[in-house]
Structure 1
Amino acid sequence: MNALPVDPHLYMAYLGAMAVMAFTPGPANVFAIATGMQRGKAAVIQAVAGMNIATLTWFVAAALGLGALVKAFPQVFKLIAVAGALYVAWLGLKALIKAWKPAPAVALAEAEVTTSRSAIVDGFMVQIANPKAILFFTAVLPPFLALDKPMVPQLSLFAAGTIGFDIIAMCCYGLGGAAIARMMVRPAFRRGFDIAVGVLLLLAAGLIASRL
């Protein structure tokens, strides 16, 4: 009998998916780059702290909401998990399709940094309203949760993995600034990156499906 709050194999799949998603350019990473270029390295660390406080806020809300959902509507939660597995697979297929589509090198979208507030507050506001974060908690996370185990220990481990990878990725983007941005827009690098993303996400979706 496995006494661990999370199945080790499923948790490794989750960490792989999170590593990919954390380093995929999105609002948070673009904001980190802009903060580093406009406000300096100290502001990057503060912005990263603010963004991850927002992520932790989302996890606390998930612990409260998902726990209640599992108890009241276990079948609904099961459907959400199936939909989430399909969504992860779709993300993987999209990445593979994108890798083989010719596309011009386009710079990462510019992010406007508000300097009238602290970098921590700016980072929190960016992440709390980040569509990528909202989609993560409604579609990506549920398939990795086990209905027969307590929610809080599971979500604590998932939060640790998510925030850990987010901190690494956001700091790399923010402190690397323009150098990271240039690397991500090179066609050959982006093709290899998209292929790796697609394969890892499809593997994660397959493992999720095998546990449903």
Structure 2
Amino acid sequence: MALPVDPHLYLTFLGVMAVMAVTPGPANLFSVANGVERGKAGALLGVVGMNAATLVWFGAAALGLGALVVAFPQVFRLISLVGALYVAWLGYQAWRGAFRTAADPHAPTIRLGRSAIVDGFMVQIANPKAILFFTAVLPPFLDVNRPAAPQLALFAVATIGMDVISMSAYGLGGAALARRMSQPRFRRGFAVLTGILLLAAAVLIISRI
């Protein structure tokens, strides 16, 4: 019986997804701000909202992405290359920002509403990092010779599982992290580490094209 996803391919995807999940982006920065503003319960409700939006993205992918990959494989390889270069550019930007003396431009400044779940959903449904994931990062891992739905289901389990862990960690540690990020030396080291992780993710994406 054939597996829905090639094990080696899935392990590579897990590596890429782990990097994408832990690196700072709109969702993780929202988790920090949400944790500071609402406390532990609010932080976890925000995680629920964000991953509900991720399920919407996977639903859209299941409806059309598999067919598009089969019909236009070369186009998706090109999109994947562009996505890898964009992730590498983000890594470069993180390195560059590590040595700027100005205040951190990526500090979370999200204005929170009444509902942590709604806020989380809105952040993730419009998250450029999520759009990049579904248009450039995910396609190289879809095998055109296997049914798309089982593959997407396994990728969804991995994506949401890692996002829940990462977003919860950012949210629950929000207050402490926010205080440390005000220290230039800590902020610089954090940005350098972010750059290394993003560049590693870009290399992994290119290796699958």
Equivalent residue for 1:35? 34
- Deviation by residue 1:14-64 (Cα, 9 ceiling, x = unmatched): 333333332333322233233333333222222211110101110111122
Equivalent residue for 1:170? 167
Tell me which amino acid in the other structure corresponds to 1:31. F
Gaps of 5+ in 1: none
- Deviation by residue 1:37-92 (Cα, 9 ceiling, x = unmatched): 33332222222111101011101111222112023323322322232333333333
Shift of 1:3: 4.0
Equivalent residue for 1:112? 111
Equivalent residue for 1:23? 22
Distance in 2, matches of 1:37 and 1:134, equals 26
Q: Is the 8 A contact 1:81 1:143 kept in 2?
A: yes
Number of aligned residues:
208
Shift of 1:185: 4.7
Q: Is the 8 A contact 1:89 1:202 kept in 2?
A: yes
Q: 1:184 to 1:166 in 2, by over 3 A?
A: farther
Distance in 2, matches of 1:32 and 1:44, equals 6
Residue 6 of structure 1 pairs with residue 15 of structure 2: no
Equivalent residue for 1:103? 101
Distance in 2, matches of 1:161 and 1:104, equals 37
Q: What TM-score results when the alignment is normalised by the length of structure 2?
A: 0.81
Distance in 1, matches of 2:194 and 2:125, equals 25
Distance in 2, matches of 1:192 and 1:12, equals 28
Q: Is the 8 A contact 2:20 2:198 kept in 1?
A: no
- Equivalent residue for 2:138, pick from 141, 161, 167: 141
Equivalent residue for 1:66? 65
Query: In structure 2, the residue corresponding to 1:40 is in which secondary structure?
Result: helix
135-144 or 185-194: bigger deviation: 185-194
Alignment of 1:85-104 (within 5 A): 85-99=84-98, 101-104=99-102
Distance in 1, matches of 2:26 and 2:197, equals 22
Gaps of 5+ in 2: none
Distance in 2, matches of 1:165 and 1:56, equals 14
Shift of 1:178: 1.6
Alignment of 1:168-207 (within 5 A): 168-207=165-204
Q: 1:161 to 1:124 in 2, by over 3 A?
A: same
